[in-house]
């Protein structure tokens, strides 16, 4: 696995930790409960992906993920405590960032372990969707993925785009960035003009 | 693993996909959200079984399961859209079919991997019950398995029947079919005369 | 793994089975549904720990855990049916016992498999917290771990205490008992003077 792969994953984990923290805040949870929810949201998708692939879970021998979660969660709380105005759709937009990263890295990691393209896209989508799903179930909200059909379709299409780019011979890092930005753009647009 | 085993599993996955689709429909979910719920319901139990057994999950190298889910979900939606009258207990009866298949194949797969009979019956029951449990949690309903004690006891008894038949020297496919039909009959009866 | 380790785990599983049974009782579930909920609560945390560590799940080759769950669940039901007065906080106090055992044995098992101290404390906390979390999600209650920040912080501090004792050269069994009692004491105190 390449180095940038690790940084993408760290970034995705940090933004999902932010969404977990925001969700916990909205539900008036406190202190460490926030960090628990942030962690579960952040590592839920990638953990499920690794378990299903039968490879060691990503964070079992790497503490950096927890530092990322901790910094993201504490930073978010500090901002919220200082009553920084939180734009209306912050949770959904942060969720879109995490989604973009996890869907694509998840797809690539599956391909690396020899799955078919179809299973890779599925595992990519699960990596992106499941952290947020656990977050919403724990907060007893209808999971975001069920609130409109564009959410899941966007993930699948981004996976299709990514694997198509690879098939067309585009270099891996380039293909990743293009697919992530497409997913992000599409999600942000569909949040804005819903 | 025998060939008929694969077909049983495909069938169980298809009917659980139907129940996931019906549940999504009742909750007014749309398009791809339906397919997500159908998939989770269909592969949830078998995936958990395989993770617990420490063997590769059933669908990781086999696309046929996804074709089955897709066909089942799309077919169900088409029927529903055409306002085909859906009998009152359709969801429960489809669930009974999936249950019958998964409990018995799950029990056999565990035995194949050297677990004790007791653990095999438990894993069989989990294979059958967990897909529907995830479905119900995601739809925020009380899981079917908790709504009456006959649900779980039926699964366990079918597992006991199956392993007893094997112990008595009955041929594997025969024992499977007998145990599946017993479970199905008992579930249908308990739905009808509840 | 030492012999007392096995007994600690059995004890933790039995008390979590009791909490699952109590939760099922409060939600007016019946018979086998009780045993399902008791089992899920009891083995949920340890199972997740073992899956994440990539080792065979604890109960897959050992029936004794199920005997413990069965005895604990049936015993609890018999007591409840005989209208033995159940003290107000019984569920929370039994939960504290299970928590104390699972957090510490979970931490040690992770260390045994070569994780960093930080990951070990996290996995220990998850072992302790997740069984109860599944129980609460299935009963559609806000998970206990989210109702107040002391719950999670107590687990983490107990893990820190345990690993510190080990680092200071305290003998393993002694360190375990000290850390478990500290966690138990702190939880009971915070239940009492909440």
Question: What confidence tens digit (pLDDT) does each residue in B108-131 have?
Answer: 999 999 899 999 998 999 899 888
Nearest to B118 among C30, C51, C66 (CB): C66
Disruptive mutation site among A60, A66, A137, A141 for chain C (greatest number of C CBs within 10 Å): A60
Give the residue from chain C lying closest to B116, CA to CA: C61
Residue-wise pLDDT tens digits, A101-111: 999 999 999 99
Our CA angle for B184, B106, B170, nearest 5°, is: 70
Give the residue from chain A lying closest to B58, CA to CA: A52
Nearest to C145 among A33, A60, A66 (CB): A33
CB contact under 8 A, A33 and C119: no
A71 alpha carbon, distance to own chain's centre: 17
CB contact under 8 A, C119 and A32: no
What residues of C are in contact with residue A32 (Cβ under 8 Å)?
149, 151-153, 156
Residue-wise pLDDT tens digits, A138-171: 777 767 666 666 777 889 899 999 999 999 999 9
Say yes or no to pLDDT of B70 above 70: yes
Q: What is the mean pLDDT of chain C?
A: 86
How far apart (Å, rounded) are the C-alpha atoms in residues B32 and C6? 46
Rg of the Cα atoms in chain B: 16
What residues of C are in contact with residue A27 (Cβ under 8 Å)?
146
Any idea how long chain A is? Answer: 194
What does the DSSP assignment read for C51-101? HHHTS--TTTT-THHHHHHHHHHHHHHHHHHTT----TTHHHHHHHHHHHH
Best CA proximity match to A43, nearest among A75, A74, A20, A77: A20
Nearest to A152 among B33, B47, B57 (CB): B33
How far apart (Å, rounded) are the C-alpha atoms in residues A152 and A187? 10
Q: How many CB pairs under 8 A join B and C?
A: 55
Phi, psi of B42 (to 5 degrees): -75, -45
Say yes or no to pLDDT of C17 above 90: yes
**Around C106, how many Cα atoms within 13 Å sit in the side-chain half-sphere?**
37
Answer for the pair B126, B145: CB distance below 8 angstroms, yes or no: no
Per-residue pLDDT, C183: 94
Best CA proximity match to C65, nearest among C108, C110, C8: C8
Band the pLDDT of B107: cuts 50, 70, 90.
very high
Give the residue from chain A lying closest to B52, CA to CA: A51
Give the residue from chain B lying closest to A152, CA to CA: B32
Our CA angle for A127, B63, A98, nearest 5°, is: 10
Assign A40 to helix, strand or coil. Answer: helix
Q: What is the mean pLDDT of chain B?
A: 86
Nearest to C63 among B116, B129, B137 (CB): B116
More confident residue, B47 or C88: B47
How many domains are there within chain C? 1
Residue-wise pLDDT tens digits, A15-49: 999 989 988 888 877 776 788 789 889 999 999 99
Measured in angstroms, the CA of A139 and the nearest CA of chain B are apart by 12
What residues of B are in contact with residue A129 (Cβ under 8 Å)?
36
How far apart (Å, rounded) are the C-alpha atoms in residues C167 and A56? 27
Of A149-163, B22-36, C125-139, least confident by mean pLDDT is B22-36
Any idea how long chain C is? Answer: 194
Say yes or no to pLDDT of C84 above 90: no
What is the rounded average pLDDT of the residues C107-126? 92
CB contact under 8 A, C146 and A140: no
Per-residue pLDDT, B34: 82
What is the rounded average pLDDT of the residues B92-101? 88
Nearest to B149 among C33, C56, C59 (CB): C33
Say yes or no to pLDDT of C1 above 60: no
What residues of A are in contact with residue C140 (Cβ under 8 Å)?
140
What residues of C are in contact with residue B151 (Cβ under 8 Å)?
32-33
CB contact under 8 A, C145 and A47: no
Say yes or no to pLDDT of C171 above 70: yes
Nearest to C152 among A36, A47, A140 (CB): A36
What residues of A are in contact with residue B30 (Cβ under 8 Å)?
148-149
What is the rounded average pLDDT of the residues B17-33? 82
Residue-wise pLDDT tens digits, A106-126: 999 999 998 999 999 989 998
Per-residue pLDDT, A120: 94
Cα-based distances in Å from C21 to A8, B136, C78, C160:
44, 21, 11, 31
Band the pLDDT of A85: cuts 50, 70, 90.
low
Band the pLDDT of B138: cuts 50, 70, 90.
confident
Per-residue pLDDT, C182: 95
Q: Which domain does C82 fall in, by range?
A: 3-192
What residues of B are in contact with residue A122 (Cβ under 8 Å)?
39, 66
Answer for the pair B29, B37: CB distance below 8 angstroms, yes or no: yes
How far apart (Å, rounded) are the C-alpha atoms in residues B11 and C152? 43
What is the rounded average pLDDT of the residues A75-103? 83
How far apart (Å, rounded) are the C-alpha atoms in residues C142 and C126? 17
Q: What is the mean pLDDT of chain A?
A: 86
What is the rounded average pLDDT of the residues C150-154? 80
How crowded is residue B45: how many other Cβ atoms within 10 Å of its Cβ? 29
Say yes or no to pLDDT of B162 above 60: yes
Residue that is written with structure tokens 């990322």 in the block: A68
Output the six-digit token pair for C109: 């098992």
What residues of C are in contact with residue A137 (Cβ under 8 Å)?
137
Assign B141 to helix, strand or coil. Answer: coil
Say yes or no to pLDDT of C3 above 60: yes
Which chains, if any, share at least 3 CB pairs under 8 A with chain A? B, C
How far apart (Å, rounded) are the C-alpha atoms in residues A182 and B114? 48
Per-residue pLDDT, A177: 93
């Amino acid at each position: 696995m390449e180095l940038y792969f690790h940084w993408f994953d760290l970034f995705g984990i940090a933004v999902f930790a932010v969404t977990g923290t925001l969700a916990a805040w909205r539900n008036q949870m406190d202190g460490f409960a926030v960090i628990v929810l942030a962690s579960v949201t952040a590592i839920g998708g990638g953990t499920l992906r690794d378990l299903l692939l039968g490879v060691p879970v990503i964070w079992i021998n790497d503490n950096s993920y927890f530092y990322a979660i901790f910094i993201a969660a504490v930073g978010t709380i500090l901002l919220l405590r200082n009553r920084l105005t939180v734009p209306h759709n912050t949770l959904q937009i942060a969720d879109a960032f995490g989604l973009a990263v996890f869907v694509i890295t998840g797809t690539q990691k599956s391909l690396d372990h020899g799955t078919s393209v179809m299973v890779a896209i599925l595992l990519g989508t699960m990596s992106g969707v499941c952290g947020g799903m656990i977050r919403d179930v724990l907060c007893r909200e209808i999971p975001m993925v069920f609130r409109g059909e564009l959410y899941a379709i966007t993930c699948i299409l981004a996976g299709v785009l990514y694997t198509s780019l690879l098939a067309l011979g585009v270099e891996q890092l380039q293909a990743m960035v293009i697919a992530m930005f497409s997913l992000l753009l599409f999600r942000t647009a569909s949040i804005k003009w819903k």
